[in-house]
């Protein structure tokens, strides 16, 4: 079996230095691979340019959004560009993350040994310490279910690397309803076609950054869509796993909290908090 063509997808905003670090990590991999880095600048100020990344010919597909569209729409744009480049696999790597030197080796191994699965999950290493719960991981590698094992049983850590085959992405995109905390919708849609292969190998490195995605506190819901999303996620999981007590319990908790979230949102909008 030949090695796959990989598209690394990065939605970027105001992080030129860490974006450059990520691209250098891709250029310095231990294992050769056919790859392209798809970068979408989501209206950074000052703008990020393709010249800032200083990529080798054929290794970069770059686009700048005319206005800030948020991470979900921007990732959809990157995904469509990657698929137009005839990639076999895509990997989502944020602009405040990087990859380990053997990431391409891992991608090649997964493709050769578990290509039929088409969705691969591996571990993340955190710089300067770990996020709470990031050490959780199953005892054995193998195929797992997103609903049962990642959401209900919570066998996996706080941040992971997702590498996905193009054939599994037909019609699967990020939700464009809202801007915050909606990444789960993409994975829930992907999970409808089966599970993922989990490997204990560390392939991603996340940095502690005060304004980064990794450490940004969830806090109070910033808008109505996010308030609803807190309920929507456990509701969808419960519909998919109706006999799970843990799923029903999570849904009940969010339904109880929903009026409070709405009240806090209203108070903030009125300038009272």
Residue matched to tokens 């991603």: 204
Q: Give 23-81 pLDDT, tens digit per residue.
A: 999 999 999 999 999 999 999 999 999 999 999 999 999 999 999 999 999 999 999 99
* 112-171 pLDDT, tens digit each: 999 999 999 999 998 876 677 778 999 999 999 999 999 999 999 878 999 999 999 999
Residue labelled with tokens 């691209």: 23
Gap between the Cα atoms of 190 and 185, Å rounded: 9
106 Rama sector, left if φ>0, alpha if ψ -120 to 50, beta otherwise: alpha
Taking the whole predicted model, whether its pTM rises above 0.85 is answered as: yes
C-alpha Rg value of the chain to the nearest Å: 19
Domains of the chain plus CATH, in order, are 5-206 (3.90.550.10), 224-269 (no CATH)
**Encoding tokens for residue 111?**
């493709």
DSSP string, 187-204: HHHHHTT--EEEEEEEEE
For the chain, where are the E strands, in sequence order?
Answer: 5-12, 34-41, 60-64, 89-92, 97-99, 119-126, 142-144, 161-165, 196-206
């Amino acid at each position: 079996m030949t090695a796959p063509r990989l598209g690394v997808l990065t939605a970027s905003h105001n992080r030129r230095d860490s974006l450059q670090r990520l691209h250098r990590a891709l250029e310095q991999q231990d294992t050769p691979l056919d790859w392209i880095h798809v970068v979408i600048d989501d209206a950074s100020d000052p703008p990020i340019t393709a010249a800032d990344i200083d990529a080798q010919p054929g290794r970069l597909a770059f686009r700048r959004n005319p206005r800030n569209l948020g991470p979900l729409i921007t990732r959809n744009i990157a995904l469509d560009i990657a698929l137009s480049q005839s990639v076999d696999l895509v990997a989502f790597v944020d602009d405040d993350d990087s990859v380990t030197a053997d990431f391409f080796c891992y991608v090649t191994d997964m493709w050769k040994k578990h290509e039929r699965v088409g969705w691969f999950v591996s571990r993340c290493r955190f710089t300067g310490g770990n996020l709470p719960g990031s050490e959780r991981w199953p005892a054995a590698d193998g195929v797992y279910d997103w609903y049962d094992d990642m959401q209900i049983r919570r066998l996996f850590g706080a941040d992971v690397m997702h590498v996905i085959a193009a054939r599994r992405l037909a019609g699967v995109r990020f939700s464009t309803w809202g801007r915050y905390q909606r990444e789960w919708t993409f994975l829930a849609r992907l999970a409808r076609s089966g599970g993922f292969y989990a490997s204990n190998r560390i392939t991603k490195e996340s940095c502690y950054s005060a304004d980064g995605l990794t450490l940004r506190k969830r806090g109070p819901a910033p808008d109505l869509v996010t308030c609803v999303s807190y309920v929507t996620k456990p509701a969808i999981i419960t519909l998919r796993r109706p006999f799970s007590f843990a799923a029903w319990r999570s849904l009940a908790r969010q339904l109880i909290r929903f009026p409070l979230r709405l009240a806090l949102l209203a108070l903030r909008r009125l300038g009272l908090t």
